[in-house]
Amino acid sequence: MTEPFGARLRRAMDERGPLCVGIDPHASLLADWGLNDDVAGLARFTRTVVEALGEHVAVFKPQAAFFERFGSRGLAVLETAVVEARERGALVLMDAKRGDIGSTMAAYAETYLRPGSPLFSDALTVSPYLGYGSLKPAADLARESGAGLFVLALTSNPEGAEVQRAVREDGRTLAATMLGHLAAENAGAEPLGSFGAVVGATLGDLSSFDLAINGPLLAPGIGAQGATPADLPTVFGAAAGNVLPSVSRGVLKHGPDAAGLRAAADRFTEEVRTALDQAP
């Protein structure tokens, strides 16, 4: 049986540093790198990132949308990237933000979480806003495969609040409810559970939320969206030790030079370590 994702992630973060680099091939980045906005440009961009950082960073987070944009040939690029990233020892968190009724969710789970599937990844981002229970097929298969899930709880974008901070009849917000489900999934797991939450680094003081879910906290929003590593202690407080900060454009803009990409990732990793050392 594969070692659970949470344990593999903890080790990767300890060995390589707590950083996830997003692979988001925006058309504007392809242009900045001198590449065409076509499948060949997409493939070159993706290969460059994987080769520069695959033995360097703990986690890659390819954003599926930028590959789906090119249809089946874009998906072929994504499949290759997932395999090559994993071969280089990086964990792959597929950012596809899937969420649907349970019977359809089961098919998404087969796509990303069934070993041997062309897009099998170490973990997947999912949306719980069709009801946490609708994610059960994905949670069950993740557990069976030793994979992980990252569930949207408090997203980095300002629009997320109207849904995520809405208050239920029992007085809890939807986000707090999702965090509670994750804490239950991760109960007793050591050294870290495999069911993560997505919590934006842009959100300021979150001390009104219980982030102690015994699982990883993916923190996007650093770099292009304005948050910095120095914000992490304020946002995450005592949960900072389980934070996996995620940066896409903030690193990618330093390509296509491999040394430039590595230096940017190293800088973020160092800044994150320094900031997290200061957390309570």
Ligand X SMILES: O=C(O)c1cc(=O)[nH]c(=O)n1[C@@H]1O[C@H](COP(=O)(O)O)[C@@H](O)[C@H]1O
Which residues are near ligand X by CB under 6 A? 22, 24, 61, 63, 95, 125, 155-156, 198, 200, 220-221, 223-225, 246-250
The distance of closest approach from Cβ of residue 229 to ligand X in the complex, given in angstroms and rounded to an integer, is 13
Residue whose CB is less far from ligand X, 190 or 270:
270
The string of DSSP codes covering 190-224 is: SS--SEEEEE-TTS---TTS----SS-EEE--BST
Cβ neighbours, 10 Å, residue 182:
26
Name the residue among 86, 67, 87, 93 with its Cα closest to residue 78: 67
Instruction: Give 125 or 134: the residue with its C-beta nearer to ligand X.
Output: 125
Give the nearest distance from C-beta 66 to ligand X in angstroms: 8
Q: For residue 74, what is the enclosing H or E element?
A: helix 71-87
Nearest distance from C-beta of residue 190 to ligand X, angstroms: 25
Stated as kind and residue range, the H or E segment containing 6 is helix 5-16
Contact 96, 124 (CB under 8 A): yes
Task: Fill in the DSSP letter of residue 189.
Answer: -
Of 35 and 153, nearer to ligand X (C-beta) is 153
97 part of the active site: yes
User: Tokens 């997505």, residue?
Assistant: 198
Minimum CB separation of residue 99 from ligand X in Å reads 12
β-partners of residue 60 are 21, 92
Give the nearer residue to ligand X in terms of CB position, either 139 or 203: 203
* Catalytically annotated residue among 61, 97, 136, 253: 97
Q: Which residues are identified as catalytic?
A: 97
